[in-house]
Structure 1
Amino acid sequence: MTQQPTVESLSQKYADPKWRKSLSEIVNIAALLRHSIIDAEYKVSDAMNGAIVLTDYGSKIRQQLITKHDVPAKEASLICLLEIASDDLIVDVEKTNTGKLIEEISAHIRDGKIKYPLRYTRELYDKAADLFPDRRVRLNSHDTARLLENTPCGVFQVGTHITGPLGIAESMQGRWIAPRSHLALQHCSDVACHAAHVTDLSTNYDAQINRELPKVAKVLQSTSKAAEVWAEFISEVRFPEDASYDAYDFLPAPLLLGECFSMEELREMVRWLHENAGPQVRDEMRRVGYGSGREEKLEEANSGTLLQLCWIARSNEIAKAIDALISSNVVKIAPGEVRKRQLTEDCLGPFELFGEVGAYGFRSKSLDDDLPLLRLQRLVGGLYDMTKSEDREELNWQLRSVEGPNIESRLADFLYKHDPASVVENIVLARKQNVDVAFEKLHITNQGLSATGVSSDKDLVNQILWKLGFDLPLPTKRTELFWRYHGEMTQLVRDALASSSINIEKIKSAGALYFPELEGVLEDSLQYAWWALTNDHVSSRRPFVYAQSYGEEAWRSLSDYQKKDKNLENLSLNGRRTLYPLVNSFGHFSSFLKDLCVHADEYVRAVDAAPGYVGKTDIQKFPFAHTVPFLDLVSGSQDALIEGSATVSILLRAADVVGMRNNLAHFQKTPVELGALEQALDATRRAIERLEAMGFCRMIYAISERSTDRWGRSTVTLTGADGSAISLAQPSSFKWVGMPNLGVPQYLFKGAIFESPGEMLRFSDDPESSFSKMWDNYPRRCRYSTYRAGGEAASAVDAAASSHKILP
């Protein structure tokens, strides 16, 4: 009896690195073919058949397929290639012409005979929304063909082989991003569901190779465990180079390109890589069709081609390109913007890394919240060589205010008790040598800094924190500049009242800054408040997400309203809005909110427009019975917002703030005029403070503290850029409503309480950029709630049941 192989015996027998590399190539090719999509007319080519060489064991399998199961010879050879091994190796690893097979697959891709879905952009998502109004769990081969028609070939990679519209290109770095036919393709019609659902695509099972493939399961009916041993051995051979334990690995960089960068930004990425990623990248780009003198061809390239060209470079070079394009402002990142993949969620490696892009470039982030702190500890620990007396003395000086029995314990205490920014500022930035080491460990290059390569301490700290994976400091609140100008203006007036000689021009100059900024605050506050309180965020295409442009509709709405109410002054609210209409528009807004309450019945949400869970559970509540959220606030909150809006107008009108602004050019230093200006400034202060207290003035809050007891009850404290804090109790019965998770930065509309004591409207921010434009109409929901399986004939099931055990 033949002795059963073990992984150990196979490892000893096939220890030759060259042989193992050849086996990996066979696995790569099998994966490319196994997971491709073909049509009914697909035929195995003579060249592909001629490149496959089988072992003696494999030849017997092939012969049985031909003689006992009527499988044509070429299809039998390809089936054997797809199986790789069972009781023994089926494919002759050394003699099979893998180069020819890759060449044939590449040609078939370019000819459209072999297809892959374009997974890492949103093109198929949009096309599915246009083609299929109902939710599809699976697309049959006909609908799959409709979906893929006239779309770029999908970009995947096995080993160094990258699929795409150019056929197969060769990457400078091995990766395992294997083809797959299950895609995040649709959002269902339930407005409370925010995940993109997976749809399975189908190859055509009328193709002869697919009709014959299930027969191999009948031939390989072995009761031995040899096939499992071979599968384990092949996995061991195939994946060592991919098992990276680098906590800063750049491997996620290629995956986010298609979802995070516009077409023009991708073109710039290709240009940068062509010029800067090395001669081998240029040579491969030229081989597949892009190089010097082919700029026009690049302008016509589709998204698949651009991704495929980028993937030729190593992942660290792609990250460098992202950093360089951002630092040179070729890719413009909006303040506070963090670009993330929206459709795909692949996490790679043992640290479950995924990529993000922000103002400081690319970073690999982890699902493990502990990783940024562990990275920081590792970084700081590597800055000082404790075996060198000069390093110990230097660190001892840096930690002079920290008590402890020795340097090591004092350093650990410092890391535990100080926030990451303080650690970076006090330890990493303590000497240039430390910064150089940090840049090397975090893969920060001068391309990630300013154009001069020199940055402020604040930029250096933020750059290092970003690369480590920490959240950056919150953006300033909308009123910060106003308060600075207000303080300066108030002090000038007080000085003028107390002095016999004062420069009137200083007051006029300060006013020239102060009043336009006041206009900006009033305009922004009313736009945001109108949007937050009167728009249906549940059915919005981007639920509970605010972009500044969304608020522009406020002025058309208020203009229409004031035409209906003859008691309201007809304000000029179109075009550039000056201080007078802005001051009075808050009174109009107060009346508008009152009127909503009178006509509340007109805004009752239709039963079929409510989320699917409504009426089926009382564990999670749905508070928005109306399409206008203001109508679902508690009555005390409604009254306070109505009264507060009116008060803002009353305060500013009573102190004649508009008149003061208009008369500033003719201002004279008299006690009367100075006193009136002082009163106007005080009234303005009270008005803006009232707007801030109600939540009209935008300010981002982020989680600063969370405490949890043994039963899971927690208090989450969110702190704003100005240091103000709000605590919210968890768990919440409103988790399914769709407001942002408390772990992400967000706006808190403090005056809009829909459930006492502290359930308020909350919104995430959408900085306007090329990225936000890419995703502006996302999600696109199915129009109907019906589900269709879209299954194939029984042959599809048979094919799925054929042996896949060997492939990873």
Structure 2
Amino acid sequence: MNNAVLKAVCANNDGIIIDLYQISIILRNSIISSEYVPPISLDNSIVLTSQGEEWVGKIREGISNITIQEIKLAMLINFHNKEFLIDISKTDFEKVFEIISQEIISGMIRFPWIYERLLYDKFFELFPHKPDSFTFEETQQILTDTPVGVFQRGQIVIGPYGILRSKQKRNLPIKYSAPMWHCSDITCSTIHWVHFKSQYAYSAISKASSLISKNLELPDNIINLIKEYHAESDYFDHIQLDNLHYLLINEFSESELRSLLGKLIEKHSKDIRSLMPKSLAKGSSSQIVDKLNLAQIFQLILLMDNISIANAVEELIDEEIIIIPSTEIRVSRFNYKKLKGYFKNICECSQFGIRSISSKKDLSVIRLKILIKELYPDLNELWRISLIDGKDIEEKLNNYLLTEDPIKIVKETIFTSPNNIRRTEEFFKYGNFNLPRNVEEEEKLIKKVLWKLGFNINLFPIYNSLFWSRYEKLLTSIRKYRSYTEHDREEIRSNAVNFFVSLEEILDLTLTFSTWMLLSDHTKTKLRFDLNKSRQFMSDNLSSLRDTGKGFVMYDKDGKNTLYPLIEGFDILAERCEEYLLKKEGFIRNKDELPDYSDATNVMLFPFRHYNYVLDIQEPDLEKILNLLTETTAVLTQMKVCDVRNRIEHKRMDFPLQEDIENACKAIDSVITKLEMAGLCPLISLYSGSSLDQFGRGYNILKNYREEETRIFNSQFDPCKLPSSRVPQIVVHSVRLTGSSENIRFAYEETSENTKKWTNYPKRLPT
């Protein structure tokens, strides 16, 4: 085909050459049976060139009983052989793609659903063995009753709606494998991928395609056209969102993605409806999304561009429709292709929204510098920088960025005018940046800017800080006067109600964590503590063990536990631990359940030799813990904390004296302080820096909300999956791992749609 004709073809709005190339790759990577025969309508829709007609005879000579539609599908896969085999001007490509689309929808041409955990869970049920690849029959078995896989090449998105066209080019390559299983080694976190099997290679279509491809010769102008189309114009973009789709499908729940699609339809109704199947595009956003499954939702989300998607996610977070807890950072746990661009960016999401950070290097300070220089082409306008040491304005800026608190820097350089905030929003290209209306909103937006730049922003759960704040308010109110009028009592009662709510929350948190920590098998918990999930464990292990004469002490799995059973619970837990200690020998872990290294080397140590962790705690530490648990119940009971609470909260004649309330508060202060110091009342610690000397000796620094520091060194216990220093965690300062001075640590998870989605993961296949 001459260049003039080729240029005319390429001028087509649909970019038919590009579409042909994309479809050829898609079809070549499909899962089909060796018996698959395309519909006759494909023959009627594809018109061959004279060279194509010549190849029909050559193919029939080499392959007996091949149908014309099989030959034409092979030519669609290999559309050029020195000359075009398909007549570009006469072929009805809209009809051709519609036919292929219907074959995808019907499942005759198949693509595997490889995302989230659907196949992982199904594999665990169906396959007791641990293959690296499936047979075709096994492939069919595991893909039965699963969605059509969603993939994208260029602007063509394939999925349960067949072939659709997106506003944005992407590369979600078709994968012939998926993350399927974890081995029986309880210390191994490697996910094993299993390959699918297609019979495409054995089909008449493949054989015909092979005959053609031996002489396949794409001319330079077509090669250049394809290269130009796929060229990464954003190769050096340090904020690009290339793997946003993997973050969404793996780390957002179906209900969250349903809300996201609904938001996209509301905000971009004309655009997205024009790209949807016509039969689906009518009706309100809720009428459309409510009837869709996960794969359908995902394919339709991909019709929109990444910036629109990221903006919609952030609006949903700000509207608290998508709720991400303070310590949660979502990042796709699976990568299906090499990271794109020079900086190898990955997408993350927190309650501050979406950000893209480099996996190669920390760009946070560099990005902040670039942003400041964009806002202030003349750096001399920043009078604050002129006060910093340095030879010239550039050196002053560098020193300023490396020495001042980043929050202060953003306040002094960005939050100086609404215009600067708007220009900062333009710098990031995506994100929901509403102008702050008060100090609280300003502080949150500053942290959001820093988060997007790549800075580590530590947010803590409010349990502990709120408890101590309410404690101080109560103390202040009871110390105002020696005797109380009814007005004074109302003020005290108001503060006391809030305080005792917080006390119940803190005691519930402490009792739940302590029970979970002491009595669990941590090879199964994966050293991850979630308060809401662990309450069930606490309820199962402590309920019905103490008879008060009026009934047994019971614990609610949903956290609706009142003060008396919570106080009693610490003594009950101590007694429960003593019972396990009396039967210690019966809880030793079987040898075949120990990791291979456990008795082979002392370089790596395994601390969980029993099924209940209380039995692996060193004796001096355990003695202190049990004493503290018993003391907690004794002190709070002796100081009549329940009685004082009841006399304050209910309008009784015997309202407690100041001395009674102070004594109860002192007892509570003493007990909670000791529990916090021991780590039984968990204080969440977050990464706060690191140190490394010339000999390579170093440590990571963790800090809690009080700025109290814990240093984490290289550990002999790393193989048992102690949490990474970058993970929110609980350090139990009163418990040392066996034979060391290192404290046991647990990752801290707050319940969210994402943690619910990944409950009971990983699963372990038997040996």
Same fold by TM-score, threshold 0.5 exceeded?
Answer: yes
SS in 1 for 2:523: coil
**Counterpart for residue 370 of structure 2:** 378
Distance in 1 between residues matched to 2:138 and 2:721, nearest whole Å: 32
Where do residues 216-365 of structure 1 align in structure 2 (5 Å cutoff)? Answer: 216=211, 219=214, 236-241=227-232, 243-277=234-268, 279-287=270-278, 289-292=280-283, 296=287, 298-344=289-335, 346=337, 347-365=339-357
Deviations 1:200-237 (A, max 9, x none): 011125852366268549945x9xxx999999867733
Where do residues 652-667 of structure 1 align in structure 2 (5 Å cutoff)? Answer: 652-664=636-648
Name the CA shift for 1:439/1:745 in 2 (closer, same or farther; >3 Å).
same
**Counterpart for residue 380 of structure 2:** 392
SS in 1 for 2:356: strand
SS in 2 for 1:496: coil
Give the residue type in structure 2 aligned to 1:334: P
Distance in 1 between residues matched to 2:143 and 2:310, nearest whole Å: 30
SS in 1 for 2:690: strand
Matching residue within 672, 675, 687 for 1:691: 675
Q: Is the 8 A contact 2:33 2:198 kept in 1?
A: yes
SS in 2 for 1:705: strand
Deviations 1:667-702 (A, max 9, x none): 9999x9433432332222111111001111222211
**Counterpart for residue 535 of structure 2:** 551
1:574 aligns with 2:555: yes
Distance in 2 between residues matched to 1:766 and 1:239, nearest whole Å: 40
Distance in 1 between residues matched to 2:516 and 2:404, nearest whole Å: 40
Q: Is the 8 A contact 1:83 1:90 kept in 2?
A: no
Distance in 2 between residues matched to 1:549 and 1:531, nearest whole Å: 10
Q: Is the 8 A contact 2:544 2:552 kept in 1?
A: no
Let me know the Cα RMSD of the aligned residues.
Answer: 3.8
Higher mean C-alpha deviation, range 755-764 or range 291-300 = 291-300
Q: Is the 8 A contact 2:365 2:401 kept in 1?
A: no
Q: Is the 8 A contact 1:633 1:755 kept in 2?
A: yes
**Counterpart for residue 744 of structure 1:** 727
Deviations 1:157-206 (A, max 9, x none): 11111111111111111112121111112233332222331110111258
**Counterpart for residue 417 of structure 1:** 403
- CA-CA distance at 1:408 after TM superposition: 2.5
- CA-CA distance at 1:344 after TM superposition: 4.4
1:514 aligns with 2:505: no
**Counterpart for residue 26 of structure 2:** 32
1:122 aligns with 2:113: no
Q: Is the 8 A contact 1:129 1:186 kept in 2?
A: yes
Higher mean C-alpha deviation, range 432-441 or range 684-693 = 432-441
- CA-CA distance at 1:336 after TM superposition: 3.0
Higher mean C-alpha deviation, range 284-293 or range 637-646 = 284-293
Deviations 1:614-669 (A, max 9, x none): 44554322110011112212222212211221222233233333333233357999
With normalisation by structure 1, the TM-score equals 0.84
Give the residue type in structure 2 aligned to 1:686: S
With normalisation by structure 2, the TM-score equals 0.88
Deviations 1:97-132 (A, max 9, x none): 554543332121122211111123432222222222
Matching residue within 440, 445, 448 for 1:463: 448
- CA-CA distance at 1:286 after TM superposition: 4.7
Q: Is the 8 A contact 1:326 1:333 kept in 2?
A: yes
Higher mean C-alpha deviation, range 691-700 or range 95-104 = 95-104
**Counterpart for residue 405 of structure 1:** 391
Name the CA shift for 1:345/1:455 in 2 (closer, same or farther; >3 Å).
farther
Deviations 1:419-459 (A, max 9, x none): 432322222112222211111112355x4549989972111
- CA-CA distance at 1:483 after TM superposition: 1.1
Give the residue type in structure 2 aligned to 1:192: T
Name the CA shift for 1:320/1:23 in 2 (closer, same or farther; >3 Å).
same
Q: Is the 8 A contact 1:477 1:700 kept in 2?
A: no
Higher mean C-alpha deviation, range 73-82 or range 751-760 = 73-82
Matching residue within 520, 527, 544 for 1:535: 520
Number of aligned positions between the proteins: 757
Name the CA shift for 1:255/1:764 in 2 (closer, same or farther; >3 Å).
same
Distance in 1 between residues matched to 2:87 and 2:244, nearest whole Å: 33
Name the CA shift for 1:83/1:612 in 2 (closer, same or farther; >3 Å).
farther
Q: Is the 8 A contact 1:620 1:736 kept in 2?
A: yes
Distance in 2 between residues matched to 1:83 and 1:715, nearest whole Å: 57
Distance in 2 between residues matched to 1:360 and 1:30, nearest whole Å: 41
- CA-CA distance at 1:58 after TM superposition: 7.9
**Counterpart for residue 41 of structure 1:** 35
Runs of 5+ consecutive residues of structure 1 not aligned to the other structure: 1-9, 786-808
- CA-CA distance at 1:521 after TM superposition: 1.1
Q: Is the 8 A contact 2:604 2:717 kept in 1?
A: yes
**Counterpart for residue 163 of structure 2:** 168
Where do residues 476-515 of structure 1 align in structure 2 (5 Å cutoff)? Answer: 476=461, 478-496=463-481, 503-515=488-500
1:717 aligns with 2:701: yes
Higher mean C-alpha deviation, range 530-539 or range 651-660 = 651-660
1:434 aligns with 2:416: no
Distance in 2 between residues matched to 1:433 and 1:11, nearest whole Å: 50
Distance in 2 between residues matched to 1:295 and 1:658, nearest whole Å: 49
**Counterpart for residue 197 of structure 1:** 192
SS in 2 for 1:429: coil
